[in-house]
Amino acid sequence: MYEPYKIKVVEPLPITTRAQREQALRAAGYNLFGLRAADVTIDLLTDSGTAAMSQDQWAALMRGDESYAGARSWHRFLDVVTETFGFPHVIPAHQGRAAERLLFGALLPTASGHTVPSNAHFDTTKGNLEVLGVSARDLPCAEAADPAKAAPFKGNIDLDALRDLLAGSRPVPLVMLTVTNNAAGGQPVSMANIAATAALAHEAGVPFYLDACRIAENAYFIQQRESGYEHTSIADIVRHMCSHADGITFSAKKDGLANIGGFLATRDEQLAARARQLCVVSEGYPTYGGLAGRDLEAIAVGLREVLDADYLRHRIDSTAFLVAELQARGIPMVLPAGGHAAYIDAAAFLPHLPLLQYPAQALLGEIYLEGGVRGAELGTVTFGLDGTTGHEQPAAWELVRLALPRRVYTRSHLAYVADTIGAVYQRRHGIRGLRITEQPLVMRNFTARFAPATTSVDTAAPKVYQGT
């Protein structure tokens, strides 16, 4: 589908030489988070906080009421959030991970040694649990194990594994589902799987929360793929998904179509009271939660726009277009195309590299050198280190993620990305692995530094620093 909008403001793209990129990559320690955006031509690092706002969102900024408490903007935000998701208690936060911290801080104050299962925790959820001494367990469904296998709901949780975990001896204080499943391909979770997960959690007397960052995209897939929902509106599907949950954490930087913001929403009045208390201490008074009034306005408008069927059709079609273009060039992709990003199977792209030489990280560097395109690692660097024990092992998936900012790039940009990666694929046999030279124990993907591995057995002996 063509872009269902026209362009009113433009931002020039930085165009660099290969020599400039080589220098920039070395200076960044081969970690693309360390690059200056001015050295990146097409930035697919994340779809988070990178959306282009609409004219209505920009106009809404002018209505921002910056009163410290009880601002009009807060009430507009609250009305939209309550109507969209259906939870009676809403605690704002400056972004998704802050909402996670409020939830876990309010629910698990003394949960050290406990386990929280999910279809796949995102790195911030894993990090927020691990700093409390709680272990984050991923229980993806069997279909998710094979990146190349197309199945409609590869984001589902493995219900048998969840049942076993809930019956086991380790306490489970909370069950979560991430919709869509960002860590494993941006794949959707079916309504049936959400309902069954909720039932298992509730039978065990455990609350069930959605990490709902990309809930509109997940709802679109349900509408397209799950029988019985063909004629249900996206708004109704979203509410139905939430009706199974005790609450959600939300990053408005994704399906809020905003550049900042998030919230925790819940049915649990006592939990909400505790979370509000934590909010006052760290985020701000609970009618702004670290956000300006104008941010609350932008989110309120964004939440309405993101449920638009044409917007979502174009969004999901764009991702499918990029995946198809890359596949046409022989590149091994996670299939089917997910919601917010195209995922390259880096282990299949670079089979000559051991996983502890971080093929996805190495591939990212090469893609950047080739054409100034920045993607993100979702593999062993991001998920391979257990922050509670310091033990490292290859992650279940070794992926390069090309995340599409919302309403930002056109199809010709995406065709350029496909050509760039196609050129890297032609010279894949000469690509070398990396070793880590320094890293923290938690969320190392953001700050670890790398150097080229010198031999095929040269793996990490990094300097570890604390302070996370």
Sheet with 399-403, side-by-side order of all strands: 341-345, 399-403, 376-378
Closer CB to ligand F0G, residue 115 or residue 124?
Answer: 124
Q: Which of 25, 28, 31, 48 binds ligand F0G (CB under 6 A)?
A: 48
CB of 125 to ligand F0G, least distance (A): 6
Which of 66-71's residues contact partners 24+ apart within 8 Å by CB, and which partners? 66/292, 66/293, 66/294, 67/293, 68/285, 68/288, 69/285, 69/287, 69/288, 70/287, 71/287, 71/288, 71/293, 71/296
Side chain identity, residue 220:
Y
122 binds ligand F0G (CB under 6 A): yes
Q: Which of 95, 193, 380, 445 binds ligand F0G (CB under 6 A)?
A: 95
CB-CB contact of 357 with 375 (8 Å): no
442 binds ligand F0G (CB under 6 A): no
CB of 365 to ligand F0G, least distance (A): 18
Nearest to 334 by CA among 161, 216, 184, 195: 184
> Which positions from 339 through 378 interact with ligand F0G, judged by CB under 6 A?
none
Q: Which of 211, 246, 305, 345 binds ligand F0G (CB under 6 A)?
A: 211
218 binds ligand F0G (CB under 6 A): no
97 binds ligand F0G (CB under 6 A): yes
Closer CB to ligand F0G, residue 353 or residue 404?
Answer: 404
119 binds ligand F0G (CB under 6 A): no
Cβ count near 94 (within 10 Å):
23
Q: Which of 41, 73, 178, 193 binds ligand F0G (CB under 6 A)?
A: 178
CB of 158 to ligand F0G, least distance (A): 18
The size of the chain, in residues, is 468
Closer CB to ligand F0G, residue 81 or residue 213?
Answer: 213
CB of 378 to ligand F0G, least distance (A): 8
Cβ count near 27 (within 10 Å):
12
262 binds ligand F0G (CB under 6 A): yes
Q: Which of 73, 135, 182, 380 binds ligand F0G (CB under 6 A)?
A: 182
Which of these segments, 13-21, 80-88, 94-102, 159-167, binds ligand F0G (CB under 6 A)? Answer: 94-102
Which residues are within 8 A (CB) of 426 and not within 5 positions of it... i.e. 6 or more apart?
none
Report the C-alpha gap between 411 and 317 in whole angstroms. Answer: 10
Q: Which residue is nearest to ligand F0G (CB)?
A: 96
CB of 385 to ligand F0G, least distance (A): 18
Closer CB to ligand F0G, residue 84 or residue 124?
Answer: 124
Which residues are within 8 A (CB) of 176 and not within 5 positions of it... i.e. 6 or more apart?
116, 117, 118, 121, 125, 208, 209, 210, 211
CB of 178 to ligand F0G, least distance (A): 5
Which of these segments, 92-100, 106-114, 279-287, 412-420, binds ligand F0G (CB under 6 A)? Answer: 92-100
251 binds ligand F0G (CB under 6 A): yes
CB of 167 to ligand F0G, least distance (A): 27
96 binds ligand F0G (CB under 6 A): yes
Which of these segments, 119-127, 153-161, 279-287, 342-350, binds ligand F0G (CB under 6 A)? Answer: 119-127
Closer CB to ligand F0G, residue 249 or residue 420?
Answer: 249
Q: How many residues bind ligand F0G (CB under 6 A)?
A: 16
Side chain identity, residue 164:
D
CB of 126 to ligand F0G, least distance (A): 10
54 binds ligand F0G (CB under 6 A): no
Q: In the beta sheet, which residues pair with residue 6?
A: none
Which of these segments, 59-67, 117-125, 219-227, 412-420, binds ligand F0G (CB under 6 A)? Answer: 117-125
444 binds ligand F0G (CB under 6 A): no
50 binds ligand F0G (CB under 6 A): no
46 binds ligand F0G (CB under 6 A): yes
Cβ count near 425 (within 10 Å):
21
The binding site for ligand F0G (CB under 6 A) comprises: 46, 48, 95-97, 122, 124-125, 178, 182, 211, 213, 251, 253, 262, 403
